[in-house]
Amino acid sequence: MSRIGVFICHCGENISRTVDVERVAAEVGKLPGVAFATDYKYMCSDPGQGLLKKAIREERLSHVVVAACSPRMHEKTFRKAVESAGLNPFLCEMANIREHCSWVHQDRKEATVKAIELVGMMVERVKKNRVLPTITVPVTKRALVIGGGIAGIQAALDIADAGYEVILVEREPSIGGHMAQLSETFPTLDCSQCIMTPKMVDVANHPRIRLYTYAEIERVEGYIGNFQVTVRRKARSVIEEKCTGCGVCMEKCPVKKIPNKFDQNLGMRPAIYVPFPQAVPNTPVIDRENCIKFKTGKCGVCRKVCGPGAVDYEQEDRLIVEPVGAIVVATGFDLYSIEEKPKGSPIKGYGEFGHGRIPDVIDGMTFERLASASGPTGGKILRPSDGREPKQIVFIQCVGSRAREKGISYCSKICCMYTAKHTMLYHHKVHDGQAYVFFMDARTPGKNYDEFWRRSIEEEEAVYIRGMVSRLYQKGDKIVVMGSDIAVGVQVEIEADMVVLATAVQPQKGADALAQKLGISYDKYNFYSEAHAKLRPVECATAGIYLAGACQGPKDIPDTVSQASAAAAKVIILFARDQLEREPIVARVREAGCVGCFYCKKVCPYGAVEEKEIRDRQGNLVKVVAYVNPGVCGGCGTCQATCPSKSVELDGYTDEQIVAMIEAL
């Protein structure tokens, strides 16, 4: 007979406000097998856990049910407590009477009845729980970092500096990401490239970092400590090992007028190119869509002029499999565009701002390229339409951000600060110009941030107008900005030469597809979800995968770098051990019942099922049965649901446990 202990948490008042916890304790105390039932203010607190441990010892409890918050919150906590009291941790279950009960119902009577039933179900379940030994798996002490922006670079350097090998994968031909595109950075106005390029070079020269640029993640298999990652190295058409980076090919390439994405399409590049002069690696790539050789078969100039013979038109995509133990995802962000969106898209464009068809209405990143000394205008602020210097410039904040109607309701966090920076850069470069900023709220929490913003107004003479712009339209060569100043309550109209939109920060395109490959979760905007908003902000719910930078939510550079170092620290902590304990929630085959139809093998998403021969003492083959490799098994249980004779069982979720719960209904 089991001696089950039931512990009901008040969670302060979070539970007890709606659920009569004392009655729950009294009722479940009467259930057969329950030897002890009590309630307590905060079960997760130190005294709460003490109470639990004491009861296990004094009442000689065989199983434990904690009725409190979601198991996703504190299952680990209580299992650990149970373990320290000498019980197997898997003999402890949680009944969720907070998220699934007290918080979602108001009627005290109903909520109490429901809580009693929920606990009752868990009591029946826990009776069928078995002792599960923890499973240990080895750790591959190599890390994969996805994304070569500042977040990925920082994480890769930190992990490598700690002595572990790192694979850094970047989609573009060069690392550097968005930070390499910026002119100056707030709140210090130091040149972005000046602080970025040394780090990029460090990556290139680091003995423990293997850099794959122009490469993407093809497939991810395995689990924490033991991932197998397939990387697709896209055909660069230039052999990296041979190329010296002399740049002759780029000079001689006859196609010169391809808009350069790095310069927000303002500057031009040849068909064989590096995106920017400081690129790492400094190895060009052939843009096959625009290359004459690839389009018509003729040309071939670059191969002719290449001294080391690095140009290789026949190069194909290569798939490389890398075993790693941990993954840092640092894929960064993309800027929202006001262009017309396809019908049915949850995100909408700005028709009232011309859907991106007014040439001198640009976004913040384009302004960065205009302001950058290494940019297409050499640092001069010039209009894309006619190359004139804008004398009246309007900045509009919160374009796409905080706009439920457009499909994005979050704040993009960085725009207030970079717009203030833009007004300063503008004022430094166009002394007789006037900058106006339309804003809703100025959000400047950060060290020296508010001071920076105030400086743009007080010293750099930017005119801030509180009020969102209703509409923009072209009138002659001016852009009419229709706004209002809500402080005075009057409409404001400005005939501007240029308008800069602080467009929303969105996750990279394809963020959802990558998440699916990695098996990590993401929110409705495709930002990756951390395991816990406060306490586990750099970990994914999927063990062994960590987040850094704007792929998790809008972030500025200091925050991104901090998170990247934090993710690196998490990886280093993981690598500090030789063996990992993993949850023993794995499938096991009952060989006696197995008839070897291998339905389990057919449906297993992990390929964890093997065929095993059973022989008698004479060595004659008796039958072939399934065997689940516990190291590979992911624990989904699809095999068990599929097995006709139920000869494979998922520990922790056996039919007995589930049926016990259904029967407790």
Partner 1 sequence: MHDNPIDTSIYAAVTEAIQGEARRILSEGHVAAVVGYAAARRKGSAQPVVVTRADDAGKLIFSAACVNNLAVYLTKARKEIPKSGKIGIVVKGCDLKALVGLMGESQLKREELYLIGVPCAGVLASTIQPDTALTAGTIAPKCRECDAHLPTGCDFVPARQPVTPELEKHYSAEIARLEAMTPAERWAYWKGQFKKCIKCYACRQVCPFCFCEQCLCDRNKPQMVETTPRPAGNFAWHIVRAMHLAGRCAGCAECERVCPMDIPLNLLNRKMAKELKELYDYEAGFEVREKGPLATYDEKDDQSFIK
Partner 2 sequence: MHPEKTKHAFEPKIIAFVCTWCTYAGADLAGTSRMQYPANVRVLKFPCTGRIDPVFILKAFQQGADGVLVSGCHPGDCHYIAGNFHARRRFAAFRKLLEFVGVDLGRLQFSWVSAAEGGKWVEMVTGLTERVRLMGPMQEFKELALEEQWSGAINTPELQEAYNSI
Partner 3 sequence: MTPRNILRYAYYPGCSLHASAGEYDLSTRELFKKLNIGLTEVPDWFCCGATPAHNVDELLSLSLCAKNLELAARVGGDLAVACAACFSRLKTTQHVLSESDVKRQQVEKAIDAPVPLNGNVKHLLDILARDLGLERLGQAVTKPLFGLKVACYYGCLLTRPPEVPNLDCVEAPTIMEDVLRAIGAETVAWSHRLECCGANFTLSRPGVVLQLSHAILDSAKAAGADCIMVACPLCHGNLDIRQKEIEGVYSTHYAMPVFYITQLVGLAAGLKADKLGLDALIVNPMPLLKEKGLL
Summarize as ranges the residues that interact with partner 1 (CB under 8 A).
Answer: 592-593, 595-599, 602-603, 624, 642, 644-647, 655-656, 659-660
Segment lying near partner 3 (by CB under 8 A), choices 279-287, 472-480, 540-548, 574-582: 472-480
Using the structure block, give the residue that is written with the tokens 């029946």: 124
Q: In what order do the strands lie in the sheet with 434-439?
A: 361-363, 498-503, 392-399, 434-439, 463-466
Tokens of 477: 């060569």
Q: What is the 3-state secondary structure (H, E, C) of 418-468?
A: HHHHHHHHHHHHCCCCEEEEEECCCCCCCCCHHHHHHHHHHCCCCEEEECC
Q: Is 661 in the site for partner 2 (CB under 8 A)?
A: yes
- Torsion sign across C-alpha atoms 566, 569, 573, 578: positive
3-state class (DSSP) for residue 335: strand
At closest approach, how far in Å is the CB of 595 from partner 2? Answer: 18
Segment lying near partner 3 (by CB under 8 A), choices 307-315, 344-352, 394-402, 584-592: 344-352
Q: How far apart are CA 538 and CA 239, in angstroms?
A: 36
> Which residue from 579, 600, 583 is spatially nearest to 644, judged by alpha carbons?
600
Which CB atom, from 438 or from 606, has the smaller least distance to partner 1? 606
Binds 473, which of partner 2, partner 3, partner 1, none (CB < 5 to 8 A, cut-off by type)?
partner 3
CB 400 within 8 A of CB 429: no
Residue 596: enclosing H or E segment and its boundaries? none
> Which residue from 347, 350, 290, 340 is spatially nearest to 509, judged by alpha carbons?
347
Q: Is 466 in the site for partner 3 (CB under 8 A)?
A: no
Q: Is 107 in the site for partner 2 (CB under 8 A)?
A: yes
Among 73, 299, 358, 480, binds partner 3 (CB under 8 A): 480
Binds 38, which of partner 3, partner 2, partner 1, none (CB < 5 to 8 A, cut-off by type)?
none
At closest approach, how far in Å is the CB of 274 from partner 2? Answer: 35
Q: How far apart are CA 308 and CA 246, in angstroms?
A: 10
CB 544 within 8 A of CB 225: yes
Q: How far apart are CA 395 and CA 326, in angstroms?
A: 42
Q: Is 355 in the site for partner 3 (CB under 8 A)?
A: yes
Among 111, 324, 557, 572, binds partner 2 (CB under 8 A): 111
Binds 474, which of partner 1, partner 3, partner 2, none (CB < 5 to 8 A, cut-off by type)?
partner 3
Q: In what order do the strands lie in the sheet with 471-475?
A: 471-475, 478-485, 490-496
Segment lying near partner 2 (by CB under 8 A), choices 68-76, 134-142, 346-354, 397-405: 68-76
Q: Is 234 in the site for partner 2 (CB under 8 A)?
A: no
Q: How far apart are CA 282 and CA 310, in angstroms?
A: 13
Cβ neighbours of residue 506 under 8 Å, at least 6 residues apart?
333, 334, 335, 336, 408, 525, 526
Which CB atom, from 552 or from 640, has the smaller least distance to partner 1? 640
Distances (CA, A) of 608 to 138, 322, 338, 517, 650: 17, 19, 47, 18, 13
Return the residues of window 632-651 that contact partner 2 according to CB under 8 A: 634-638, 640-642, 650
> Which residue from 412, 417, 414, 487 is spatially nearest to 450, judged by alpha carbons?
417
Q: Is 350 in the site for partner 3 (CB under 8 A)?
A: yes
Binds 660, which of partner 2, partner 3, partner 1, none (CB < 5 to 8 A, cut-off by type)?
partner 1
Return the residues of window 564-603 that contact partner 2 according to CB under 8 A: 585, 603
Which CB atom, from 70 or from 228, has the smaller least distance to partner 2? 70
Residue 18 is which amino acid?
T
- Half-sphere exposure in the Cβ direction for 190 (13 Å, CA): 6
At closest approach, how far in Å is the CB of 344 from partner 1? Answer: 18
Segment lying near partner 3 (by CB under 8 A), choices 119-127, 144-152, 275-283, 349-357: 349-357
Q: Is 473 in the site for partner 3 (CB under 8 A)?
A: yes
CB 325 within 8 A of CB 226: yes
> Which residue from 126, 69, 55 is spatially nearest to 92, judged by alpha carbons?
126
Q: Is 347 in the site for partner 3 (CB under 8 A)?
A: no
Q: Is 606 in the site for partner 2 (CB under 8 A)?
A: yes
Give the contact letters, 387-426, x = binds to partner 3 (CB under 8 A), - = no.
------------------x---------------------
Distance of CA 14 to the CA centre of its chain: 31
Strands 209-212 and 165-169, sheet pairing: parallel
Segment lying near partner 2 (by CB under 8 A), choices 30-38, 93-101, 248-256, 500-508: 93-101
Among 35, 42, 80, 103, binds partner 2 (CB under 8 A): 103
Q: For residues 632, 633, 636 and 637, what is the CA-based torsion angle, rounded to 10 degrees?
A: 160
Q: Is 352 in the site for partner 3 (CB under 8 A)?
A: yes
At closest approach, how far in Å is the CB of 480 from partner 3? Answer: 7
Using the structure block, give the residue that is written with the tokens 């051990």: 577
At closest approach, how far in Å is the CB of 523 from partner 2? Answer: 5
Which CB atom, from 207 or from 644, has the smaller least distance to partner 1? 644
Distance of CA 626 to the CA centre of its chain: 37
Which CB atom, from 339 or from 655, has the smaller least distance to partner 1? 655
Q: Is 45 in the site for partner 2 (CB under 8 A)?
A: no
CB 284 within 8 A of CB 250: yes
Interacting residue ranges for partner 2, rule: CB under 8 A: 70-73, 96, 98-101, 103-107, 110-111, 113-114, 117-118, 121, 512, 515-516, 519, 521, 523-524, 529, 541-542, 585, 603, 605-606, 634-638, 640-642, 650, 652-653, 655, 658-659, 661-663, 665
Interacting residue ranges for partner 3, rule: CB under 8 A: 340, 350-352, 355, 405, 473-475, 480
